[in-house]
Structure 1
Amino acid sequence: MASATPTQENPAQEPASREPEMEPLLGEPRAAGALQRKDSPIFANLYIGTAVLAQLGAVVLFTVIWVHILRRDWIIFSGHPIAQSLAILAIIQSILILQPTHTPDQKRTGQRIHAFLHLVSFVSLVTGIVVIEYNKYVNKLAHFHSAHAYIGAITTAILLLQYSVGFTMWATPSLYGSEDRAKSIWKYHRWSGYLSLVLLLSTVLSATRVPFVGETIGIKFWWVFGLSVLILLGIIPRVHLWKLLGQVRR
């Protein structure tokens, strides 16, 4: 006998209420490891979800560069890829640690670690630049003789701007008129941050086309390309559209 009272609707058939821009770029938040749980330690952000892919790519790329450099006799140039690869590794960690944060406390903790890792990357980047410039000076080598040099210069300029804007927005928001105005710029900082990562990986790729790196040292283009793709496959699914659009998560 049919009941006269209405039955409860099947929740599985209710329309999804989650707004598209509140999701990561690919898949469900938990599947991508895109949201930090409230009871989860901040450092778990470095390996949850697809971060494992990024870590695998980053660690192997870092190891490949260091092994190929350190197995040869040390020369002035050796310090350049050593320092720059450390900068890239630190930048990848700084992205992974901050991506899943979404509560005020998580964001504050994540921003402090993010800032520290970028300090490490900044020191490493400057060290690498000083080393390569000194190497060119001592050996009387030409500047800007390859695509690697041009891409590297562009990437360095964007990174220095990224460091400056990111640090001042976080430490001295009054420079932008108010804290709210400083926060409104975060979305541009995030966009340029992801662009910087792509440019950094492109810089490493272009380095393999320099005969000394690709042929003498033996770091191959397809190795770096494959590892770069792996890094991006680990990071891109955790990108939140609502953060890129400067929205507040509801």
Structure 2
Amino acid sequence: MALTAETESRLYRSLRAAAGAAAHLVALGFPTAVAVLARPGSSLFSWHPLLMALAFSFLMTEALLIFSPETSLLRSFSRKVKVRVHWALQLLALLCALLGLGIITYNKHLNGKAHFVTWHGLTGLLTVLYAGGQCMGGVLLLYPKLMKNWTLAKLKLYHATSGLVGYLLGCASLMLGMCSLWFTTSVTSVSWYLAMLCPLLTSLVIMNQSWIACSVLSPGSSYDAHDTERAGATHLMPASVGMLPSTGLIWRRQDRSCHIPGEKGRESPLTQEAAAGTALPLVLRRQLGQ
């Protein structure tokens, strides 16, 4: 027997919530395990894996999950608060990454070893530089007037897309680090495979969240009710009057009403009876008070 659209959507949201909860646990559990393994303070090198795990497994993951409607730890807070916490976590992640990079560079210098000659080293350097550029790009979202020829929605789209690339680079760097001699000597057998699954799991969760956000932000996108809510896209409503994507309806924010375009520029109000037979996103129905 086929599932109804409502049941299927509820099941999908439950799976996303479960995956998000698992991502939270992994984001905290992985750096904890690395701390036990590295024993920070036992040597200069011991701080490198801990700082990188904190940066890319914990801080950056939480900074992105903060916008998830299902699993955000700040669901009841306003978007403005979430943005500020996102900024703080990303800056902390960048600081930890810079410290980790500086420590491993200095440690190699003390031991007379070559710098950035492995895939892990090269990917790590690229990731840290990319994270710095991504944080600088985030300034444009705080001050969108600096980019007069770009709409805010387009800036958010590019920031979300490039942020996903940066996060995947960080996860790739962590996985390459787990292939190093230091890690494979200490972690073997099934434990090694479980450790490798940690960044894979969080990557899948973040990719799914980013894909939904980007599909809503993309020009001409056809998002549905649940996509809109999952991406937290209520702020994407037209500021005053505008065409609603995928509905063909005109939205007027002043009186919270939808109108059906007619001939010669005429419009007819969308009644509740007519709205019931349309594919209006749920977030719009709430705006209309239906």
The question of 1:235 aligning with 2:218 is answered no
**Offset at residue 239 of structure 1 (A):** 3.9
**Offset at residue 92 of structure 1 (A):** 0.5
Aligned to 1:68: 37
CA contact (8 A) 2:101 2:125 kept: no
Aligned to 2:196: 225
Percent identity (aligned): 21
**Offset at residue 208 of structure 1 (A):** 1.9
The question of 1:77 aligning with 2:45 is answered yes
Q: Deviations over 1:164-185 (max 9, x none)?
A: 101x12333222127x634421
**Offset at residue 86 of structure 1 (A):** 1.2
> Structure 2 matches for 1:75-154, cutoff 5 A?
75-88=43-56, 89-100=58-69, 106-154=78-126
For the aligned residues, what is the CA RMSD? Answer: 3.1
**Offset at residue 73 of structure 1 (A):** 6.8
CA contact (8 A) 2:54 2:96 kept: yes
Query: Any unmatched runs of 5+ in structure 1?
Result: 1-11, 18-22, 34-47
**Offset at residue 85 of structure 1 (A):** 1.1
Distance in 2 of aligned mates of 1:189 and 1:129? 24
Distance in 2 of aligned mates of 1:241 and 1:208? 30
The question of 1:176 aligning with 2:142 is answered no
Q: Deviations over 1:84-128 (max 9, x none)?
A: 111121100011112338x9x732121111011111111111111
Query: Any unmatched runs of 5+ in structure 2?
Result: 219-235, 238-283, 285-290
Alpha-carbon spacing, 1:174–1:225, altered in 2? closer, same or farther (3 Å)? same
Instruction: Give the match's secondary structure for 1:75.
Output: coil
Distance in 1 of aligned mates of 2:66 and 2:33? 24
Aligned to 2:14: 31
**Offset at residue 209 of structure 1 (A):** 1.9
Give the letter for the 2:172 counterpart.
S
Distance in 1 of aligned mates of 2:153 and 2:147? 9
**Offset at residue 49 of structure 1 (A):** 4.5
Instruction: Give the match's secondary structure for 1:122.
Output: helix
CA contact (8 A) 1:91 1:117 kept: yes
Distance in 2 of aligned mates of 1:131 and 1:142? 14
Instruction: Give the match's secondary structure for 2:78.
Output: helix
> Structure 2 matches for 1:203-218, cutoff 5 A?
203-215=173-185, 217-218=186-187
**Offset at residue 150 of structure 1 (A):** 1.5
Matched positions, count: 209
Higher-RCO chain (CA-CA 8 Å, sequence separation at least 6): 1
CA contact (8 A) 1:50 1:233 kept: no
Give the letter for the 2:147 counterpart.
Y
Alpha-carbon spacing, 1:80–1:244, altered in 2? closer, same or farther (3 Å)? farther
**Offset at residue 145 of structure 1 (A):** 2.0
Alpha-carbon spacing, 1:115–1:237, altered in 2? closer, same or farther (3 Å)? same
CA contact (8 A) 1:80 1:129 kept: yes
Give the letter for the 2:14 counterpart.
A
**Offset at residue 245 of structure 1 (A):** 4.8
Distance in 1 of aligned mates of 2:127 and 2:60? 13
CA contact (8 A) 2:94 2:128 kept: no
The question of 1:202 aligning with 2:172 is answered yes
Instruction: Give the match's secondary structure for 1:74.
Output: coil
Aligned to 1:54: 23
Question: Given the two structures, how large is their TM-score scaled by the length of structure 1?
Answer: 0.72
Distance in 2 of aligned mates of 1:143 and 1:244? 40
Alpha-carbon spacing, 1:143–1:181, altered in 2? closer, same or farther (3 Å)? same
